[in-house]
Structures are given as C-alpha cells and as structure tokens.
C-alpha cells in the first residue's frame, strides 16, 4: 500500500500546464491511497481531499473532495463535500456539494446531495434525497445525455 500527497503548486511546472493568463494553475492537496490488494477498515476523518485506489470499509468523513478511482472500492458510510466515483461505492453518502458518477462508476446505496450527475454508462441503484434547492432554482439531479459530435465541436 502507498500513501502519497500531492501539494500545490509544484515547484517546477511545465509551460503546457500554465493557464491562458500565464499564471500557474492552482492545485489543491490530494491524498492518494493506493495498493493492489490493500484493504483499509475503520473510521477515517480526512480534513482535505482524498483519492482512493484500493478497498476501504467503515466510515469516512472527508473535508474536501472524495475521488474513488477506477481500482477503488469503498463500502462505507460517507460524509463529504463533493464526490467523484470512477470505481465502486456501496453505502450511505451525504455530500453537501455534488456527486458525480462517471461512465465506469458503480454505486449501490443512498445519496443525499445538492447535485447528482450520472454519466452515460454509470450505474446507480438506490435512493436520492435532495439537500436543498439550488440557487438558480434548477433541478439538483442531472442526467447527462450523449451529445451529437456536431454539437460537441
């Protein structure tokens, strides 16, 4: 198993990583937990964002963004700000921001959030509870439809 923290900004940055205005892009710190067959079990309180690329069970409280990578499998009750699910998630989640299920993401459980985006190919089995109305009065649940290639350009 490997723990890695990426801090921002990187001391030396490639010019291709600069934003259009010439300033370096700001990256937030992201703790990454990786390990082929690693399994972590317990109660975790993470103040920043985290990316998980292994098996995690128990309870997670994340003060930033939770990213479950394609190799990640989380079976836990989660409280977070935002979540992006590329791997597998099972449990009850409360996200005060948004939850995104990518095309490779698989979710089995209940989600309480302001905004849920399920990409085409993403799987969701459970219930969704809206925390509150969005400021613009738009629906908080979004289904992403496939856009014709002519419109994508």
**Cβ–Cβ under 8 Å, residues 120 and 104:** no
**pLDDT at residue 102, as a whole number:** 97
Task: Residue 85: name the closest of 96, 73, 76, 97 by CA.
Answer: 73
* Distance between CA atoms of residues 1 and 85, nearest Å: 21
What is the pTM (predicted TM-score) of this model?
Answer: 0.70
101 exposed, middle or buried (CB, 10 Å; 0-12, 13-18, 19+)? Answer: buried
DSSP 8-state code for residue 144: P
Place of tokens 């190919």: 121
pLDDT in tens, the chain (153 residues): 444 454 433 333 333 333 333 333 334 566 777 777 889 999 999 999 999 999 999 999 999 999 999 999 999 999 999 999 999 999 999 999 999 999 999 999 999 999 999 999 999 999 999 886 545 555 555 555 555 545 444
Tell me the two tokens of residue 89.
Answer: 């998630």
Strand partners, 66: 50, 83
Pairing of strands 30-46, 2-6: antiparallel
Calculate Rg over the CA atoms of the chain: 17
**pLDDT at residue 152, as a whole number:** 46
Task: Residue 50: name the closest of 24, 76, 25 by CA.
Answer: 76
* Distance between CA atoms of residues 39 and 76, nearest Å: 12
């Amino acid at each position: 198993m490997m723990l890695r923290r990426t801090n921002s900004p990187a001391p030396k940055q490639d010019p291709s990583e600069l934003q259009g205005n010439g300033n370096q892009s700001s990256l937030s710190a992201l703790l990454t937990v990786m390990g082929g067959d690693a399994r972590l079990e317990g109660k975790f309180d993470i103040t920043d964002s985290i990316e998980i690329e292994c098996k995690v069970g128990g309870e997670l409280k994340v003060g930033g963004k939770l990213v479950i990578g394609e190799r990640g499998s989380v079976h836990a009750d989660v409280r977070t700000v935002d979540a992006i699910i590329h791997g597998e998630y099972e449990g009850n989640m409360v996200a005060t921001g948004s939850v995104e299920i990518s095309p490779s993401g698989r979710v089995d459980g209940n989600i309480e959030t302001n905004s849920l985006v399920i990409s085409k190919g993403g799987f969701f089995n459970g219930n969704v509870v809206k925390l509150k109305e969005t400021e613009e009065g738009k629906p908080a649940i979004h289904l992403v439809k496939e856009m014709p290639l002519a419109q994508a350009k």
